[in-house]
Chains A and B, each alone.
Chain A
């Protein structure tokens, strides 16, 4: 009994967004190492090895991670349930019945606005199970929210 993947991909623009979001971390690491190189008097091969390894890791991470994420991140809303899949190395699928949905929020950070993306967060009465769909197209996100709001307004009972 294997689970299938949710039906919809997120927006392809999310790839660029995830790449850009990961850049500051690597810049910080590289800046630290360059400072180390610059401040030490005798420059050994170790420092250059560490520096080049960092550049290599950064490149691999920035190229692989967003594309891997894009393949994993998926979502689906059916008449009875919300189903999401996210992550890359560690992957997580979340399923919540529509009848137990309490709130539906969208949220757009500054960087996401640049790519006109939006996040949708669906919460239930459990503190453990908010479903988040990252990197949705703005129009799609609004569609999802209005659809969910419409459906959940008819259901009742949140099992508290």
Chain B
């Protein structure tokens, strides 16, 4: 669409344009006033040219994107390499009935994916079905060549060059719904980090803005009023009020963020073997993952979410990298939701409840000792640092939090050990670790393409090892930490029979794994 590019690029070039206007004013006593408008016209012309010179094309073998006016660039991807398709529509896109299609190819190089901006919504949906089910539908009804380009101005959309096949649209109706957002899930939003991160971002941008404009925050009326109000009160009241304001602020932000990202979340399974996720309040996102690319799931339970019996679910897929951030990332399968819902969804996705519900095997006393040693050593370092600070004149009250690190460290270590565990169930390797950020990784054994057995000096002395399963999907590595070496080898041998058996010492009797916790 002709409007999307200019609006977005004007936004991108805004700082430069402001600079141009200011420069025009400052130089030549105002005679260079035309610099600013010229810049605006230039940006609009360039973005229109970009629209005119961009062509997409899909043949039975490949997806092609050609861009550039002076420097022509053609990106093409074999159609059978398409691993995931995202359809995003920002508020502007939705207003104009457009969407952006991003095609993931599983390569980890930047810029290797294709991004087709400003397709009409119907085209985007058709393209998604077309790309994802090409392999499943195979030669039967795939058109030979489909050429099209970004939709011209709405209404005049009949230039004959964009005939996109929509024959799969009917098939989309047979989707089975696996999960749908319940508005009550919004109550988990304050227990995620997104509100805190949002508050930090707003504070950072705000202070930068004040800084750039050369205004002190105290000069702004409402802020000055608030500050003088705080100055009149005793300190303890200030602290309580400040904390209350902060909590309310963070809560509102996180709930807003949750609603923006996940409103209308819906996860469906297509009979051709793919999962579709749609979500978003203003910007809508639709992600499709081929199920044969899905090698497992990650069940994340950060401490705060765990406290309210909630969890998040993401997929371990080739062609999708888990991205951190409030947005949840492209491999998200379920936003923060009740743990029972997450477990049930994982069981449905894996078509087997065992990997998510199986009791994990604990790693034994040596691993527990190691958890405590490490946590208490960290506490000791903090206490020593506090001691140095106090002896150099800092308030003696610092001793209180310093001493309190010891019970905190002990609790952390106990919980970390409690979380630590692994299992093999239903053809999946299951491993769980962490306390503040506890994660249960469920990885398909068939997706494992190697083992790393790592032993630090201290692990060697304790007879422990960290067994890492390497894979082409998700994080690329999934570790079973601090497991006794013999147990690590038997685990590797059970997960991928035949591979490690050649490299084991013959005589040793097989030791039984520790009892589950």
Instruction: Name the interface size band of chain A.
Output: 20 to 34
Asked if A92 CB lies within 8 Å of chain B CBs, one says yes
Measured between alpha carbons, how far is A96 from B448 in the docked complex, in Å? 10
Contacts of A89 in B (CB 8 A): 456-457
Contact B457 A2 (CB under 8 A): no
Tell me whether chain B's interface is mostly helix, strand or loop, or mixed: mixed
Shortest beta-carbon distance from A26 to chain B in Å: 21
C-alpha spacing A23/B396, complex, angstroms? 47
Of B446, B450, B504, the contact of A126 (CB 8 Å cutoff)? B450
Let me know if A3 and B485 touch, CB within 8 A: yes
User: Known interface pairs A95-B500, A126-B477, A159-B472. Does A90 touch B457 (Cβ–Cβ under 8 Å)?
Assistant: yes
Q: What residues of chain B lie closer than 8 Å to A1, measured between beta carbons?
A: 486-487, 489-490, 493, 504-505, 508, 510-511
Check A160/B476 contact, CB under 8 A, given A2-B489, A2-B508, A94-B450: no
Let me know if A138 is at the binding interface, CB within 8 A: no
Contact B106–A96 (Cβ < 8 Å): no
- Point out which of A3, A91, A96 has the most chain B C-beta atoms below 10 A from its C-beta: A3
> If A129-B449, A129-B470 touch, does A90 touch B454 (CB 8 Å cutoff)?
yes
**A86-108 interface (Cβ within 8 A of B):** 89-97, 100
Tell me which of B446, B450, B477 has the highest count of chain A C-beta atoms within 10 A of its own C-beta.
Answer: B450
Q: Do A158 and B449 touch across chains, with their CB atoms under 8 A apart?
A: yes
Q: Which of A53-87 contact B (CB under 8 A)?
A: 76, 78, 80-81, 83
Complex Cα–Cα for A93 and B108 (A): 26
Min CB distance, A54 to chain B, in Å? Answer: 22
A114 interfacial contact with B, CB 8 Å:
no
- Would B504 and A128 count as touching, CB distance under 8 A? no
- Which residues of the other chain, B, contact A78 by a CB distance below 8 angstroms? 502
Q: Flag if A80 contacts B505 (CB, 8 Å).
A: no
In the complex, the answer to whether B505 meets A4 with C-beta atoms within 8 Å is: yes
Q: How far is the CA of A90 from the CA of B465 in the complex (A)?
A: 11
Interface residue from A3, A94, A125 paired with B472 (Cβ < 8 Å): A125
Query: Which residues of A, 105-138, contact B by the 8 Å Cβ criterion?
Result: 124-129, 131
Which residues of chain B have C-beta atoms less than 8 A from A126's C-beta?
Answer: 449-450, 470-472, 476-477
Contact (Cβ within 8 A) A94 B505: no
Interchain CA distance A124-B511 in the complex, whole Å: 31
B64 contacts which chain A residues (CB < 8 A)? none
Q: Given contacts A126-B477, A129-B450, is CB(A95)–CB(B489) below 8 Å?
A: no
Is B455 positioned at the interface, with any CB of A under 8 Å from its CB? Answer: yes
B311 to nearest A CB, angstroms?
25
Q: Are B471 and A90 in contact (CB under 8 A)?
A: no
| Docked CA distance A159–B473 (Å) | 9
Interface residues of B in 460-488 (CB under 8 A from A): 460, 468, 470-472, 475-477, 485-487
Instruction: Return the 7 tightest CB-CB contacts between A and B, nearest first.
Output: A129-B470, A128-B477, A125-B472, A96-B450, A126-B470, A100-B449, A128-B476
